[in-house]
Amino acid sequence: MHPVRSVTMIGTTPTTFRELMTLERVAADFFLGQTPPYAWGRVYGGQVVAQSLMAAAATVNPDHHVHSLHAYFVLGGTPGEPILFDVDRLREGRSFTTRRVVARQSGGAILNLDASFQRHEADYDIQSGGLPEGLPSPESLPENEWSGMGEIREIPKTAGVARSQLWMRVRMAPDEDFGDDPVMHACALAYLSDHNPMDSIVMSHPDRLSWDQMMTASLDHNIWFHRPVRANQWNLFDMAGHGLVNARGMATGSVHSQAGVHLATIAQEGLVRSPR
């Protein structure tokens, strides 16, 4: 099982990603996590997905590694209020383990997540594609301002194309080191993965409206983990929007390392309501 902290964390504010992912076990399969303040008034969705994955992993044999997660955003979380993670052990298998996590605050459930973990199997490793050609390196691009715990370099958008390409890596404190911890790296990828799907969905809107002109919200979020991740290194999160219907938009995309290794696939549906 992945280690969790046994000392009380109530009332603390995490300032590093490791602190954000440090959960307090309050009962057998119940964990408490903290959240920093956010300027936009809601908890960043990627944080809740990552903490839910950490809670699930804390109940799984360490030789089983996450290969997929599927999450529904139920309500916007309240910054500064602790989050309780309730883990349900759905299946214990020799090859696969399944967990369900409900994240709750005082207003009720804010996220429901299912995660599946697999023991490594020696078999073929085949990749069908790599990085797009002609991409600028992250070092050649200016840093984007973001209050979250990640570093971002944005590849310039193409007018009229619903696509968001970001080089991202988790921001680490000088004395912070994830080492070879696969859970921390997977949680860091999950944390970053919620940053640009909605951007590509909003770009599908024919009026090219800005975010503050519309009502937007993530509805569900899915990740398939294909290969080991180094989330403290630059990885390309390449998301494309696929149109709008019933005020909902869809984005799908991939995560590749700088070496072109296909690390993960992401899909998200989001709400985009036009001004009325």
pLDDT of residue 3: 46
Residue 11's pLDDT band, with cuts at 50, 70 and 90, is low
Question: What mean pLDDT comes out for the span 10-20?
Answer: 82
Question: What mean pLDDT comes out for the span 240-262?
Answer: 96
State the residue for tokens 């069908």.
Answer: 128
Question: What mean pLDDT comes out for the span 239-244?
Answer: 94
Cα-based distances in Å from 265 to 117, 162, 172, 251 = 16, 18, 24, 11
Q: Which two tokens stand for residue 212?
A: 């503050």
Residue 7's pLDDT band, with cuts at 50, 70 and 90, is very low
Q: What's the per-residue H, E or C state across 227-251?
A: CCCCCCCCEEEEEEEEEEECCEEEE
Domain boundaries, the chain: 17-119, 138-273
State the residue for tokens 């912070």.
Answer: 176
Taking the complete model, does pTM exceed 0.85, yes or no? yes
Confidence check: pLDDT of 71 > 80: yes
Q: Taking CA 165 as the corner, what is the angle to CA 237 and CA 157, rounded to the nearest 5 degrees?
A: 170
pLDDT of residue 222: 98
Q: Residue 252 is which amino acid?
A: T
Confidence check: pLDDT of 6 > 50: no
Whole-number CA gyration radius for the chain: 18
Of 136-150, 168-182, 254-268, minimum mean pLDDT range: 168-182
- CATH fold, domain 17-119, is Thiol Ester Dehydrase; Chain A (3.10.129)
Classify domain 138-273 by CATH architecture: Roll (3.10)
- What is the Cβ-side half-sphere exposure of residue 6, based on CA atoms within 13 angstroms? 2
Confidence check: pLDDT of 169 > 80: yes
pLDDT of residue 4: 52
Mean pLDDT for the chain overall = 91
Question: What mean pLDDT comes out for the span 172-199?
Answer: 92
pLDDT of residue 1: 52
pLDDT of residue 178: 87
pLDDT of residue 160: 85
Residue 8's pLDDT band, with cuts at 50, 70 and 90, is very low
From the centroid of its chain, how far is CA 96? 22
